[in-house]
Copies of this chain bind each other. A is one copy, B any other.
Amino acid sequence: MRRVVVVGGDAAGMSAAHQALRSARQHGRELEVTVLETTHDTSYSACGIPYWVSGEVGSREALVARTPAEHRRLGVDLRLGARAISVDPAARRVVYVGPEGEHRLDYDDLVVATGASALVPEWACAGPGTPAAGIQVVKTLDDGAWWLRELAEPGLRVVVAGGGYIGLEMAEALLARGHQVTLLTRSRVMSSLDEPMSGRVQAAVEAGGVTVHLGAAASGVERSADGALCAVRAGELRVAADLLVLALGVAPATGFLADLDVPRSSYGALRPDPQGRLADGLWAAGDCCEVRHRLTGEWVYLPLGTHANKMGRAVGENLGGGTLAFPGALGTAITRFAAGASYVEVARTGLGLEEARQHGLDAVETTTEGTTASGYHPAAEPIALSVIGERGTGRLLGAQIVGGRGSAKRIDTVATALWHGSTVLDLAWSDLAYAPPFATAWEFVSLAARRLAERL
């Protein structure tokens, strides 16, 4: 009986655990799978928290894909409130602190799936990594519950630090709950977009009622005599505030592995091989890892549930005797911002123009504006698509979308073309679906690609 211990009971860890059991059954192996989870929640959607805070999702339970009981019923030995503190890879032993103190657990294979922790700058901390009064991150279900409690009464002044996905989604949630929102962002809104596309998103966010400060990295807070938060500072800027959302990104939760000699980035992200292997008997998957970018071949940090699920599945399949490799990623991402009459969808895939040029590529970009349906049809919504290609080779490099309802998911068409190393011209001439309520006769993605192809 081979013993697999998985550290972390969310997307990657639980995918690994269950796929290991399935794969073992298929390959006639016997496997015992133990999962150590720090919190008391398993398999929950961190991405869904802003929609729970906004009220669109009605309950904490709705965000849980599988409860501890369900995992146990499926054969996983799940230990909650269990924090791994050290690993001895030579002895194949992991030490964790559980509700009844310190435990040692021997393993044959250890899967590190500890995910990531939200960044909390020192000035925002009460204790190590713990936000001070009036300040919170958006990472765990407990964080979500915290926000629901604090935001119960409308009309609060809330500052959001960070203009990325979580920042935008929380701004939407806060407006939906009737609060006043100020967004501070170090560079620009959605800095994973090139500047012109970022500007379109910013305009929609401002139109929705958010006060936006660019180039404003939150640097401290002010408190009243009773210790309550009263303002957030960003250099010279001072914004009066009752609450502060920290949406500054996440970092891999790999501190307990600091002594181990395994491939990792400067900031601790693990770098497993495509099968998920870090070293003999040691595996990793999910937000504690970097992934290989399909276009550049470089390691990139893309902490996202979709990769975590896939990486976990690959590790599990391999643990059970199968063969499966995580094929890398393109940096595809999507979100929306909705507030009153202001509605914008945002998506990206592959390399941006700046990014492509930083990689020494002779990149060319074209932004095309159009509609998601035939212009005469009431379903038509505006869409702007920035397509990036390489001069000379004609290779497709990436795309960014900002538009109305039904616009952003078109990024998948570009992502799929990118996945297969498509040229821009090939994307232009693809056979995409057309009917008046759904597209223009030159499908918009094709049209935008055609415009760029003419310039390559």
Q: A410-B412, A412-B410, A420-B420 are in contact. Are A47 and B430 (CB under 8 A)?
A: no
Other contacts beyond A333-B434, A334-B438: 14, CB < 8 A: A45-B436, A47-B374, A304-B434, A306-B434, A327-B426, A331-B431, A332-B432, A334-B435, A410-B412, A413-B415, A419-B422, A419-B426, A419-B430, A419-B431
Q: A151 interface residue, CB < 8 Å from B?
A: no
For the complex, give the distance between the alpha carbons of A243 and B60 in Å: 55
Among the 9-residue stretches A30-38, A73-81, A200-208, A440-448, the one with 4 or more Cβ atoms under 8 Å from chain B is A440-448
A443 lies within 8 A of B336 (CB): no
Chain B minimum-CB-distance residue to A58? B376
A376 lies within 8 A of B409 (CB): no
B441 lies within 8 A of A415 (CB): no
Q: A48-B436, A327-B429, A332-B433 are in contact. Are A409 and B410 (CB under 8 A)?
A: yes
Q: How many residues of A contact B (CB 8 A)?
A: 67
Q: A145 interface residue, CB < 8 Å from B?
A: no
Q: A83 interface residue, CB < 8 Å from B?
A: no
Residues of A in contact with B (beta carbons under 8 Å apart): 11, 45, 47-48, 51, 56-57, 62-63, 165, 294, 304-310, 326-336, 345, 347, 349, 374, 376-378, 406, 408-413, 415-417, 419-422, 426-427, 429-439, 441-443, 445
The interface centre, meaning the residue of A47, A307, A410 with most chain B CB atoms within 10 A of its CB, is A47
Chain B minimum-CB-distance residue to A376? B62
A441 lies within 8 A of B411 (CB): no
Chain B minimum-CB-distance residue to A52? B376
Count this chain's copies in the assembly. Answer: 2
Q: Can you list 18 pairs linking A and B with CB atoms under 8 Å apart? A: A11-B441, A47-B441, A51-B376, A57-B377, A57-B378, A57-B436, A310-B429, A310-B442, A330-B431, A331-B431, A332-B432, A332-B433, A334-B434, A345-B438, A349-B433, A406-B406, A412-B413, A416-B417
Which 7 interchain pairs have the tightest Cβ spacing?
A420-B420, A334-B433, A62-B376, A416-B416, A330-B431, A305-B441, A306-B434
Q: A56-B378, A57-B376, A442-B306 are in contact. Are A336 and B415 (CB under 8 A)?
A: no
A336 lies within 8 A of B437 (CB): yes
The interface centre, meaning the residue of A47, A305, A431, A436 with most chain B CB atoms within 10 A of its CB, is A431
Chain B minimum-CB-distance residue to A406? B406
Q: Give the chain B neighbours of A420 by CB distance below 8 A.
A: 416-417, 420-422, 426
B334 lies within 8 A of A412 (CB): no
B48 lies within 8 A of A376 (CB): yes
Q: Give the chain B neighbours of A333 by CB distance below 8 A.
A: 433-435
For the complex, give the distance between the alpha carbons of A433 and B376 in Å: 29
Q: A45-B374, A420-B422, A441-B11 are in contact. Are A306 and B408 (CB under 8 A)?
A: no
B431 lies within 8 A of A306 (CB): yes
Min CB distance A171 to B, Å, is: 15
B431 lies within 8 A of A51 (CB): no
Chain B minimum-CB-distance residue to A348? B433
Q: Give the chain B neighbours of A374 by CB distance below 8 A.
A: 45, 47-48
For the complex, give the distance between the alpha carbons of A47 and B377 in Å: 11
Partner of A408, one of B47, B334, B349, B433: B433
For the complex, give the distance between the alpha carbons of A192 and B227 in Å: 68
B47 lies within 8 A of A347 (CB): no
Chain B minimum-CB-distance residue to A335? B435
Q: A47-B435, A62-B376, A436-B47 are in contact. Are A309 and B442 (CB under 8 A)?
A: yes
Min CB distance A387 to B, Å, is: 14
A412 lies within 8 A of B433 (CB): yes
B445 lies within 8 A of A412 (CB): yes
Q: Give the chain B neighbours of A336 by CB distance below 8 A.
A: 435, 437-438
Q: Give the chain B neighbours of A345 by CB distance below 8 A.
A: 438
A332 lies within 8 A of B431 (CB): yes
Partner of A432, one of B48, B376, B415, B435: B415
Partner of A430, one of B11, B347, B415: B415
Q: Give the chain B neighbours of A294 by CB distance below 8 A.
A: 431
A309 lies within 8 A of B441 (CB): yes
